[in-house]
Amino acid sequence: RQGWITGRTLRPGEGIVGHVVATGQPYLANDVANDPLFLPRVDGESGFTVHALLCVPLTVRDRVIGAIELVNKLNGAFTDADLDLLQTMAGSVAVAVENAKLYTELADFAHEVERSQAQLVQAEKMAAIGRLAASLAHEINNPLQAIHNSLHLAMLESLPEAKRHRYLAMAREEVDRLIEIIQRMLDFYRPSGGGVVQTDVNQVLQNVLAIAGKRIQHGHVRIHTRLAGDLPLIPAVPDQLAQVFLNIVINAVEAMPEGGDLRVGTLLTEDGEWILAAFRDSGPGMTPEQIANVFEPFYTTKPSGTGLGLAISYGIVERHGGTIEVSSQPRQGATFIVRLPVHPAPAKMLRGSNGAD
Ligand SMILES: Nc1ncnc2c1ncn2[C@@H]1O[C@H](COP(=O)(O)OP(=O)(O)OP(=O)(O)O)[C@@H](O)[C@H]1O
Ligand SMILES: [Mg+2]
């Protein structure tokens, strides 16, 4: 197209534009034919004859990032007033160009951060799955070995019937244990229960204490409740919350085989953003090493525990946008605090309701 040149590169100092960029000074030439800086070959390329020319730099914080050039005023020559006007315009243009550039850089940066964060999350997930697979293999291997041995012994021909029975019963016990492990594993990835509803946390807690009533009674554990009267309903999956509370309560009962006290309380934080449910027992408490591991799948100190109770609870609370914390010192009892947001982020709850990720 006549009058258009694109993709041409000028070095700083080359031609009038190059001169303006190199010096940072505006340039006004009303007779370019006799101007030593003018490059006549540009006319040859554009097919356009330049007579008068006005060029100003685009400057951002003392740095020249470009130039604007006007050629051939319709009537007569460019004036100092034209120069002033163009310089004022160039000021705004320079800021706009710089902002656009910064914005692009920022957007690129944000994108980069997002990408590396996603990679981190993925890496952490892979590591978690790796740990899980390793402990699962170990966990399943033990009962399988026991079943193998029991069956082997049960099949010995000369064996008295009573012993055969005992070996078969042992095998059966181990099979039950395997089934339980697998069932809880499934819960781990596909939490039970329906969808998200407006939930009364106190109500869920009271249901759990009722459900666990027999266990609590047999364990000689005294329950002391102090439930806040002003809790708002929060979006949650009640069955899943109940599962969390039940795991914590049963753990406390199991931690106090001689009986003891379990204090259960709820409160609304002062800013009204969080509901806290706290469980403090008078059991043996935990060492720092135990505390570091309680939420790991399969970590258990009990002969018949699966070690999944708190790992499952952790996942559930996380999907509710909350946190679960433990604090304890040996011989001082253990405290578990579940923090639930009153206004959880919708995306998180969505993931919670279908269990998939
Ligand atoms: N209240 C508590 N006091 C002392 N230790 C605790 C308490 N709660 C949990 N723990 C420790 O954390 C471990 C993990 O608990 P978690 O509920 O995940 O598994 P578990 O109770 O061992 O097995 P499961 O829940 O499958 O029966 C327990 O084995 C115990 O060592
Ligand atoms: Mg448990």
**232, 321: one domain:** yes
Q: Which of 188, 207, 225 is the last residue in one of the domains?
A: 188
* CA–CA dist 207, 214 (Å, integer): 13
pLDDT of residue 81: 94
**331, 206: one domain:** yes
* N-terminal to C-terminal alpha carbon distance within the chain: 55
Whole-angstrom Cα Rg for the chain:
37
**167, 279: one domain:** no
Q: Which ligand has the minimum distance to the alpha carbon of residue 291?
A: 1
Low-confidence winner among 147-151, 214-218, 338-342 (lowest mean pLDDT): 214-218
- Looking at every residue in the chain, the average pLDDT score rounds to 87
If you measure from the C-alpha of residue 250 to the centroid of ligand 2, how many angstroms do you get, rounded to a whole number? Answer: 6
Low-confidence winner among 176-190, 235-249, 283-297, 342-356 (lowest mean pLDDT): 342-356
**200, 135: one domain:** no
With a cut of 50, say whether residue 350 has pLDDT above it.
no
**183, 199: one domain:** no
* CA–CA dist 318, 197 (Å, integer): 17
What element of type H or E holds 55? strand 53-60
Using DSSP, state whether 327 is helix, strand or coil: strand
Q: Which ligand has the minimum distance to the alpha carbon of residue 334?
A: 1
pLDDT of residue 355: 39
pLDDT of residue 131: 65
Report the CATH number that the domain containing residue 46 is assigned in CATH.
3.30.450.40
**246, 280: one domain:** yes
**Residue 6, CB-side half-sphere exposure with 13 Å CA sphere:** 2
pLDDT of residue 74: 83
Pairing mode, strands 53-60 and 27-29: antiparallel
pLDDT of residue 354: 39
Q: Which residues contact 234 (CB under 8 A, 6 or more apart)?
A: 198, 199, 201, 275, 340, 341, 342, 344
Please state the atom number of ligand 1 nearest to the C-alpha of residue 299.
Answer: 14
| Number of domains comprising the chain | 3
Q: Is residue 77 part of a domain?
A: yes
Q: Is 284 exposed, middle or buried (0-12, 13-18, 19+ CB in 10 A)?
A: middle
With a cut of 90, say whether residue 352 has pLDDT above it.
no
Q: Is residue 300 part of a domain?
A: yes
**226, 311: one domain:** yes
Return the best residue to mutate from 223, 291, 300 for the ligand 1 pocket (most ligand atoms within 8 A of CB): 300
Report the CATH number that the domain containing residue 170 is assigned in CATH.
1.10.287.130
Question: DSSP states of 195-241 as a string?
Answer: --EEE-HHHHHHHHHHHTHHHHHHTTEEEEEE--TTPPPEEE-HHHH
- Determine the residue type at 108: D
With a cut of 60, say whether residue 195 has pLDDT above it.
yes
If you measure from the C-alpha of residue 79 to the centroid of ligand 2, how many angstroms do you get, rounded to a whole number? Answer: 86
Low-confidence winner among 101-105, 179-183, 192-196, 246-250 (lowest mean pLDDT): 192-196
Check residues 354 and 27 and name the one with the higher pLDDT: 27
Q: Is residue 276 part of a domain?
A: yes
Helix intervals (H) in the chain: 15-23, 40-46, 80-154, 161-189, 201-211, 213-218, 238-255, 288-293, 309-319, 346-354
CB atoms within 10 A of CB 124: 10
Report the CATH number that the domain containing residue 334 is assigned in CATH.
3.30.565.10
**92, 134: one domain:** no
If you measure from the C-alpha of residue 308 to the centroid of ligand 1, how many angstroms do you get, rounded to a whole number? Answer: 8
Check residues 262 and 130 and name the one with the higher pLDDT: 262
If you measure from the C-alpha of residue 293 to the centroid of ligand 2, how many angstroms do you get, rounded to a whole number? Answer: 13
* CA–CA dist 219, 259 (Å, integer): 5
If you measure from the C-alpha of residue 99 to the centroid of ligand 1, how many angstroms do you get, rounded to a whole number? Answer: 56
Percent of the residues in the chain that have a pLDDT greater than 70, as a whole number? 90
Protein residues with CB under 6 Å of any ligand 1 atom: 247, 251-252, 255, 281, 283, 286, 290, 294, 299-302, 305-311, 334
Q: Is residue 115 part of a domain?
A: no
With a cut of 80, say whether residue 304 has pLDDT above it.
no
Q: Is residue 135 part of a domain?
A: yes
With a cut of 80, say whether residue 124 has pLDDT above it.
no
Angular region, 134: left φ>0, alpha ψ -120 to 50, beta rest: alpha
pLDDT of residue 303: 84
Q: Is residue 315 part of a domain?
A: yes
Q: Is residue 122 part of a domain?
A: no
**172, 203: one domain:** no
Residue nearest to atom 19 of ligand 1 (CA): 307
pLDDT of residue 243: 87
Mean pLDDT of 110-131: 75
Q: Which of 167, 188, 209 is the last residue in one of the domains?
A: 188
Q: Containing domain of residue 321, as a range? A: 195-354
Please state the atom number of ligand 1 nearest to the C-alpha of residue 336.
Answer: 1
pLDDT of residue 253: 95
- Determine the residue type at 297: P
- Which two structure tokens, joined as six digits, stand for 25? 């000074």
Q: Is residue 138 part of a domain?
A: yes
**152, 216: one domain:** no
| Residues 345, 346, 351: CA angle, nearest 5 degrees | 105
Give per-residue pLDDT as tens, 227-252: 999 899 999 999 889 989 999 999 99
Check residues 50 and 227 and name the one with the higher pLDDT: 227
**179, 199: one domain:** no
Look up residue 29 and give its DSSP letter: E
If you measure from the C-alpha of residue 325 to the centroid of ligand 1, how many angstroms do you get, rounded to a whole number? Answer: 14
**151, 288: one domain:** no
Which residues are found with C-beta within 5 Å of the ion, ligand 2? 251, 309
With a cut of 80, say whether residue 200 has pLDDT above it.
yes
Q: Which of 188, 207, 237 is the last residue in one of the domains?
A: 188
